[in-house]
Amino acid sequence: MADSERDRIAAMRAEIEQLRQAVSSHAVVDQAIGMVVALGRVTPEQGWEVLREISQHTNIKLRNVAELVLIWGRLGEMPPEIAAALENALDRHGPTRIPGGGPDPAPVLGRRGTARARLSGPP
């Protein structure tokens, strides 16, 4: 086998591994967006912005922020700095009212004080 063919195969294997990681990362982020949407009563676009803001304000990679949100959903544990960033981001973005849904019930997340109490335990 020629060196150029070996190099091509090695490059293709590296690309396949990068694609696998990207798909896995995308799934984790999508799941975390879903949690933020459901619990924060925001739109999917706002959920994405919430995660992005948390990542930027805490200097933690987006995928890692998403993993922390999912861990919180399973175990009810979240680092305080992430909980504070989540609360602040939700205060800026939500909750979204459902058209024709009647009076706005008390939000699960997204209002100062409410989110912090919720973030200390299971969602």
pLDDT tens digit sequence for 23-69 = 777 899 999 999 999 888 899 999 999 999 999 999 999 999 999 99
* pTM of the entire predicted model: 0.67
| Whether the predicted pLDDT of 107 surpasses 90 | no
Contacts of 51 (CB under 8 A, 6+ apart): 29, 32, 33, 36, 62, 65, 66, 69
Structure tokens at 72: 């919180």
In whole angstroms, what is the distance from residue 118 CA to residue 108 CA? 8
State the Cα angle at 67 between 64 and 68, rounded to 5°.
90
What pLDDT is attached to residue 111?
A: 43
d(CA 114, CA 4): 60
